[in-house]
Structure 1
Amino acid sequence: MQPFLPLAQPIFQTVGVIGGGAMGRGIAQMAVQAGSDVFLLDSQPGAAQAAIAAITAIWDRLVTKGKLTDEMRNLHLTRLSAAPDAAALAPCNLIIEAIVERIDIKQRLFSEIESLVAPGTVLATNTSSLSVTAIAANLQRPAQLAGFHFFNPVPLMRVVEVVAGLKTSPVVCEQLTGYARQFGHTPVAAQDTPGFIVNHAGRGYGTEALRVVSERIADFATVDRILRDQMGFKLGPFELMDLTALDVSHPVMESIYRQYFDEPRYRPSVITAQRLAGGVIGKKVGEGFYSYLEGAAQIPEDPPAPVVKSLPPVWVSPKAARRSELYQLLKDLGAHIETAATPSSTALILVAPLGLDVTTLAAVERLDATRTIGIDMMLEDTATRRRVLATNPATRPDMRDAAHALFAQDGKAVSVVRDSGGFVTQRVVATIINIAADMCQQGVCSPSDLDLAVTLGLGYPMGPLAMGDRIGPTNVLEILFNMQTVYGDPRYRPSPWLRRRGALGLSLSHEEA
């Protein structure tokens, strides 16, 4: 059981939390646990009292589980009270706002609060996507306001973005950074740019997956399986959007896209706009990208490998990525491998492009497109739980089935998708890495804070820059250059940060002296 020990002196002794919803409750709970006296204010009658009752129930459960002493629970309760009105917040030396995500309402609130509190009081907004600079624009003391963005649920999501507006005092950010550590959270420093760190860096995962589906390369379930099994994401993008719900995630997509003046890298999808309009928004309504029965997603079965009487010989393109590894894999699978300069008339032809589509390679290398199949070899085969093959518009069904059967012979899962520059994982992961690299180029945050914020805030298997280093910056560049060639879309233009570090053989986390 947790011992009853005096807490260290908190940086902010008296804290006002405005908003009794999930975020406000979580922030208030953690502020009390950090040793602060907390006043909770909500404009709705009874909401602050209901929030305090919910926090109390959490502490009661912790006592029952032996994770909190009765003495500490009782001390916590003495430090938490409902504020009857805004004037009751006058003694506070920190005010944290966690109300509706509307800039006009936040501006009015802070103008009122500023007139009530002492000049040295720190003002913090928990906004997830609005401009901190704009929220502070009408204040008499804009230097006192900063972003203090937590993630839901606050007690479990142990990362917080400390965001400096154009006029925010560095001292204010230092105080909030230290206070976040007293919460037991990990603070990361962000400049006041759309989406800050986590919501900005997270743009590539969902939007690129939506583009894959919009091109009919694969369905929702297949994309989710591939990204979980090949790259180790905990949830596929469509599982994640169903969990967060499109009434939350689609407006963020549109907001960041518009705030960056229609930057192609952040372009939203008509798929989510249509589903939002139709109310098909996710798990909480029982229907999203998947349907839900008693809360469980009804996911279609992974198609089994076809049964093939005999397998054709296999010829591998000399331009294939990881060609020696692919040869070894084919050998391990018992394939008959052709080694001549050109394939025989019966051979299954394998290409393994980075960023290009199968069609382009078949045309450039003058291969028989009816027998040509692509395999994604961006990562080592031993590092993934799924192999991904791609047909082209001319691929014969018997060759498609033969390739599927061959690569499933050792029991590893296989997905067959339609032709795409970058298959699925290459294009999604390269987009994530490219956006992260450009955030560093823009000075949104440091490389270390970026990777830390994304792993803690989004639950990615590793930070985007670490992903880029694992794959190899030159390989990521090749994927992006080739995808830009295939699609002609500036969305895939490589960031200068990525291009320079790739050219010099540097880590994507390398900062200039």
Structure 2
Amino acid sequence: MTTASTPICVVGAGTMGRGIAQTALAAGHSVTIVDPQEHQLVAAAADIEARLTKRHPALAADLESALTTCTSIPLSPRHPNTVVIEAVLESLDVKSAVFTAAADHFGPQCILATNTSSLSVSAIAARCPLPTRVVGMHFFNPVPVMKLVEVVTGLQTDPQVAEEIDTLAVAWGKTVARVTNAPGFIVNRVARGFYGEPLRLLQECVASPATLDAVIRGSGQFRMGPFELMDLIGNDVNAAVTRTVWSAFNFDPRFEPSRIQDELVAAGRYGRKSGHGFYSYATEHTPAEAPAQVQLGALAPHAVRRGDSAELDAVLERSSIAVTRDEQAPDAQAELVLDGTVVVITRGRTARSESAARGGTPVVVLDRCISVAEATAIAVASSHVESLSAVAAMLHRAGITAHPVSDVPGLVLARTLAVIANEAWEATMHGVASPADIDIAMKLGTNYPAGPFEWTRDWSRAAVLELLDALWFSYHDTRYRANRLLRD
């Protein structure tokens, strides 16, 4: 059983190791940091002391009694119930060597927790003398701030060991998502669509990175758009994670890396750290490119509503335009008629196909939003470009900026979130994690405004399925193959 008296040994004095050690110290543990480089240990101790001084001054003042640093595991204090947390290089050989040395030094009652983000916990355990004591304890950076910990059970992991690590993480103020070992665990697997789908839209020349970012921020309430985020993470790092997940899933096309991102990496355009990525950071850290916007036309004084759509109703309510309901067509497809133009929420069809189904009537397709009430931007496409300005005026009246994109199936946010939700359903069907754990992981691990199961409920399972089926019909690409559970 782990308690505040349980000794913690953190192997690796880099950024992640320092954050783990600081969190453990703040929770009252005695901590040993192991790193072969003495200068790393000195820097780590000074860094931790400086951070603790701000929030835990009494602990910082007595840090020497709680923190020990060693250049090798055999030199560390030997306690049989030590929890060893490795935060070393993402290499199976390196991590296995660390755990072999730890098992030999601390004995059979120690717990060996790996902070790996991409390697198999089962594979690490297979190379360890104590495979049942190996468990995944995946933190997110910066560790003292980020609340999520993925506790990953490998094939050999003793369930009691996973429970003890769960309890330990909660005692440290973390929220735990329980995961059965699988490539990418929850976050790095489910989040791939947040990058992959916008990259595919960019490859299809649907819109610029700035426009796609603006749409996803404004209609999805995400703190950063995918291209801004990839530049912040580093395109080299983001591409490497994608390639790791792709190869671990036996090169499944739904995780296929982007040639556009590979080109950036080949050119050394890693993002902010190199001064150039999808955006240029030569002068400042704010991307200079402006997103495209629809030029505003005259505001229509009146609209006609047919069918049932909470999204269209919310837009109309925000815009305060007078509305007449067509009571003669109560079962009609949900649409809004504005000066002869039909406005619909995307269901995965292009504006041209929606127009053709109405005998050539001009159609404007609006993207979906996570919350129309909070939306500040939205992607739009039209079968007749001259119809956009009046719809943009209505949206502007509602406080929503209309961003024009190419007339593609599913537009931007709806398509991106449908792919993410589909992967979440896939992970649940395969027993990787529960819907509740996946939602928690995506909100706390990636700062999503809502979890994929939450927006599936808000949009309806039928709406997500309709989007995916329409995308499959257009592309015949397996990334749009709807998970079976969505049809149940």
**Normalising by structure 1, what TM-score?**
0.85
* Contact 1:354–1:475 (Cα < 8 Å) also in 2: yes
- Whether 1:386 and 2:374 are equivalent positions in the alignment is no
- Whether 1:51 and 2:44 are equivalent positions in the alignment is yes
1:506 aligns to what? Answer: none
**Of residues 187, 195, 198 in structure 1, which corresponds to 2:184?**
195
* Contact 2:368–2:414 (Cα < 8 Å) also in 1: no
* Contact 1:194–1:256 (Cα < 8 Å) also in 2: yes
1:374 partner SS:
strand
1:464 aligns to what? Answer: 452
* Counterpart residue type for residue 80 of structure 1: L
Shift of the alpha carbon at 1:443? Answer: 0.9
* Contact 2:319–2:395 (Cα < 8 Å) also in 1: no
**Of residues 195, 199, 210 in structure 2, which corresponds to 1:221?**
210
| Superposition map of 1:340-355 within 5 A | 347-355=340-348
* Contact 1:316–1:351 (Cα < 8 Å) also in 2: no
1:35 partner SS:
coil
- Whether 1:87 and 2:74 are equivalent positions in the alignment is yes
Over residues 418-474 of structure 1, what are the superposed CA-to-partner deviations in whole Å (9 max), with x where a residue is unaligned? 111111111011111111111111111122111111111110001111111111111
- Whether 1:210 and 2:199 are equivalent positions in the alignment is yes
| Superposition map of 1:17-36 within 5 A | 17-36=10-29
Give the Cα–Cα distance (whole angstroms) in 2 for the partners of residues 82 and 491 of structure 1. Answer: 48
1:78 aligns to what? Answer: 65
Give the Cα–Cα distance (whole angstroms) in 1 for the partners of residues 354 and 2 of structure 2. Answer: 65
Shift of the alpha carbon at 1:357? Answer: 1.5
- Whether 1:488 and 2:476 are equivalent positions in the alignment is yes
Give the Cα–Cα distance (whole angstroms) in 1 for the partners of residues 64 and 374 of structure 2. Answer: 50
- Whether 1:423 and 2:411 are equivalent positions in the alignment is yes
* Counterpart residue type for residue 66 of structure 2: R
Distance 1:123 1:312, change over 3 A: closer
2:431 aligns to what? Answer: 443
| Superposition map of 1:371-382 within 5 A | 371-376=362-367, 381-382=372-373
1:13 aligns to what? Answer: 6
Aligned length: 479
- Structure 1 stretches lacking a partner, 5+ long: 1-7, 501-513
1:182 aligns to what? Answer: 171
1:507 aligns to what? Answer: none
| Superposition map of 1:88-103 within 5 A | 88-89=75-76, 91-92=78-79, 93-103=82-92
Shift of the alpha carbon at 1:191? Answer: 0.9
1:137 aligns to what? Answer: 126
* Contact 1:11–1:178 (Cα < 8 Å) also in 2: no
2:153 aligns to what? Answer: 164
* Counterpart residue type for residue 439 of structure 1: A
* Contact 1:305–1:408 (Cα < 8 Å) also in 2: no
Overall identity of the aligned pairs, in %? 33
**Normalising by structure 2, what TM-score?**
0.89
1:279 partner SS:
coil
Distance 1:68 1:446, change over 3 A: same
Shift of the alpha carbon at 1:293? Answer: 4.7
2:97 aligns to what? Answer: 108
1:46 partner SS:
helix
1:494 partner SS:
coil
- Structure 2 stretches lacking a partner, 5+ long: 330-335
2:288 aligns to what? Answer: 299
Give the Cα–Cα distance (whole angstroms) in 1 for the partners of residues 318 and 340 of structure 2. Answer: 14
Shift of the alpha carbon at 1:180? Answer: 0.9
Give the Cα–Cα distance (whole angstroms) in 2 for the partners of residues 445 and 219 of structure 1. Answer: 35
* Counterpart residue type for residue 256 of structure 2: R
Give the Cα–Cα distance (whole angstroms) in 1 for the partners of residues 211 and 115 of structure 2. Answer: 36
Distance 1:352 1:447, change over 3 A: closer
